[in-house]
Chain A
Amino acid sequence: MSKLETLKQNLAGKFKVENFKFTHAVGDDILEVPKEDAPKVILFLKETGQFDFLMDVCGVDYPTREKRFDVVYNLFSSKDNSRLRIKAQVGEGESIGTAIPAFRGADWFEREAYDMFGIIFDGHPNLRRILTHHQFVGHPLRKDYDANHQQACTTSLPIHFNNEPGSPGNVLNDKYVPLNIGPAHTAMHGTLRVMAEMDGETIVRCNNEIGYLHRCFEKMAETHPYNQVIPYTDRLNYCSAPMNNIGYCKAVERILGVEIPAKAQAMRVILAELSRIIDHTIAIGTGAMDLGALTSFFFMFGLREQVYGLFEKLCGARLTVSMTRVGGMAQDAPEGWYDEVLALCKEIRRGTDEMASMVLDNKIFINRTRGVCPVSAADAIQWGYTGPLLRAAGVNLDLRKATPYYGYDSLDFDVPVGTSGDIYDRYLVRFEEMRQSVRIVEQVCKNVPGGDYTIRDKGIVLPEKKDVYGNIEGLMNHFMLIIKGLRPPVGEVYDATEAANGELGFYLVSDGSANPYRLKVRPPCFAIYQSYPTVVKGAQLADAIATIASMNLIAGELDR
């Protein structure tokens, strides 16, 4: 019996199943429900333990339809690693119930859908703008909003707090000191803003504001052809840019229904794991710097520079490589590149051990991080944590093992899992992941398959330059593909990869044209950072800084 049949039987009796639509698209199960039922179905699926993660909530705009918006919920079950997409239609000015009673993690995702589309969620405690500024008028991701229509912002919002039940909301308490940290604060990472109410050194209440780096990734994706979106994905998580390329291309390839050659898969695995390593070096290096250890920053960046050197050799760019293309890679690796990677692996292994002894065995570091701001496994799942933070809390979930892609199932590596979910465990997990990534890279590098580095489908991949300049067929092929663009069939797909911070998902809706109709990124940081006020409540101010560092927040993917 198929998954959908089982689901139908489970839901029958509780709901009017005859109003539901069970469909299937590119390997995904989809359940379309009336908007009144959506929150109840989600709560039911959660309570009966069928789906324990809410990965994403987003909207899609169809201006010509009677009920204009689709609200899409992406569910994931860690038991059998299956996914389910629940869709509900909402009209202009109508509202849909909030999913917060089922999943706390729905909070920011629903705020974002409100901000971008104007979809109203009943019962949401803080349905305010989240990514655009407070003077912004309109909802930018609607199809009738011009992508280039800028609206100036002249002031910043004063310190404000969330209207959670039982809290005094925006009213400040005279007994406590309001404290604004960031954006652009000595102790804060670039674009993050944290507002706290302090009782001495203790945080009584806390709120965080984002959107200071909202670069309209999704609107840009809608206005560019598929291949031109790749450089934008680079700049989502700029600490590990190749992983975002890979995640995006994988989603497009899945909707196109193509399989990339074995060599391209191997190259992508190497790139992804090297990126994971350098992402963790930044997380650890700057994390220790936030605790006052500048040496670690210099040490980790020395390691990182060497990996950059390899990226430069591979494609000419350092940070934003844009190395993948839909259908494979942009070019082959240069002669002897794999040997250099293998040589570097030894360096990384040595550097990781040295760094681990410098950080993890450091008494000051241990005292500052062990037992500080822990997150339990149940809470982590509720908030939609993925990646190292989820594993530090003790949940063994890694998409490379759960739903293997690119031959990860044939590789020998372990998934490190923490026990307490405190800051120390997060660094412990990151260090171990670096070692495991080295193992993976070594295995793949030692036997890179031969063959082509990309597929040769004329409707998808540009011909090689020697053909473009050398024969008329290649020239015409190039011309047609540039003018027409690659056009996936009508449909939709949600595809996820295990990025350095956790599950990086791309929800792609295609209407058959050369641009994506809708591209929603599910960034791992977004789900993690929304739990921050709860995690640091009652902690010391210095612990809050340590927590923010351990979460490894990348504003590019947080705000998109």
Chain B
Amino acid sequence: MHNNPVQGSASHGGASGTQAVDDMSRDFAFTSKIDHIVAWGRKNSLWPMPYGTACCGIEFMSVMGPKYDLARFGAEVARFSPRQADLLVVAGTITEKMAPVITRIYQQMLEPKYVIAMGACASSGGFYRAYHVLQGVDKVIPVDVYIPGCPPTPEAVMDGIMALQRMIATNTPRPWKTNWKSPYEQA
């Protein structure tokens, strides 16, 4: 954590400035560090909710399994209840029929919450350009990280989770999320 730049903090320990300013900057630094510490904690204790509907769900089980062991990334507590999870892993095809269900699951999750679309189907409908398949889960819920592959290898899933962890650690703003409106809320 100490290697990362602290967001919005005044520089401290610099060459210029009096002792008083230094103290003040340390105070400022301390408040911004809380954000940082919280982000660090969040990044290292993701509680994923596997929304495994299809093939990707099986491959996500491999990621949780003994060989790849997602526990190494602090994301070992898989919870099947949206109230207890902060990371929704959409692993598998989402059909039109499933769309209202996954929207409700997402709404039931508490902030801060993140979404990973794992695999081609969840990201874009994949090679199912078909009448009953939602062409990407981002049509109904906002997605943070897309993982390519059909299904992605466990290594790719881990890469996706690390990408999300970087995003959380640096508090990278995600404008699409604040502007996001579910199609069902509009209706």
Known contacts A150-B132, A320-B55; decide if A213 and B93 are in contact (CB<8 Å).
yes
A404 at the interface (CB under 8 A from B): no
- A and B contact pairs by CB, cutoff 8 A, 28 listed: A131-B132, A133-B95, A133-B96, A146-B131, A149-B131, A150-B132, A152-B183, A156-B100, A185-B80, A190-B53, A190-B54, A191-B53, A213-B93, A213-B95, A213-B98, A214-B95, A215-B128, A216-B133, A220-B128, A282-B58, A298-B65, A302-B65, A302-B66, A318-B153, A319-B55, A319-B59, A319-B151, A320-B150
| Total A-B Cβ pairs within 8 A | 140
Contact of B99 among A148, A153, A320 (CB under 8 A): A153
A453 at the interface (CB under 8 A from B): no
A447 at the interface (CB under 8 A from B): no
A275 at the interface (CB under 8 A from B): no
Q: In the bound complex, do residue B99 and residue A152 qualify as a contact, i.e. CB atoms below 8 Å apart? A: yes
Known contacts A190-B57, A320-B151, A556-B55; decide if A183 and B130 are in contact (CB<8 Å).
no
Report how far A213 CA is from B150 CA in the complex, Å: 16
**Number of residues in B with C-beta < 8 Å to the partner?**
42
Sample of 6 further A-B pairs with CB below 8 A, known A231-B127, A238-B54? A150-B131, A150-B132, A155-B100, A190-B51, A215-B93, A215-B128
Closest residue of A by beta carbon distance from B121: A215
Contact with A along B49-69 (1 / 0, CB 8 A): 001111101110110011100
A301 at the interface (CB under 8 A from B): yes
Contact with B along A471-505 (1 / 0, CB 8 A): 00000000000000000000000000000000000
Q: In the bound complex, do residue B65 and residue A150 qualify as a contact, i.e. CB atoms below 8 Å apart? A: no
Q: In the bound complex, do residue B67 and residue A302 qualify as a contact, i.e. CB atoms below 8 Å apart? A: yes
Dominant SS among interface residues on chain B: loop
Residues of B54-97 contacting chain A, CB below 8 A: 54-55, 57-59, 61-62, 65-67, 80-81, 92-93, 95-97
Contact with A along B92-119 (1 / 0, CB 8 A): 1101111111100100000000000000
Known contacts A301-B65, A319-B59; decide if A212 and B54 are in contact (CB<8 Å).
no
Contact with A along B151-187 (1 / 0, CB 8 A): 1010000000000000000000000000000011001
Report how far A145 CA is from B132 CA in the complex, Å: 12
- Set of chain A residues within 8 Å of B93, measured between Cβ atoms: 213, 215
Q: In the bound complex, do residue A235 and residue B96 qualify as a contact, i.e. CB atoms below 8 Å apart? A: no
Q: In the bound complex, do residue A305 and residue B80 qualify as a contact, i.e. CB atoms below 8 Å apart? A: no
B135 at the interface (CB under 8 A from A): yes
Report how far A322 CA is from B98 CA in the complex, Å: 27
- Set of chain B residues within 8 Å of A320, measured between Cβ atoms: 55, 150-151
Contact with A along B120-159 (1 / 0, CB 8 A): 0100000111111111000000000000001101000000
A411 at the interface (CB under 8 A from B): no
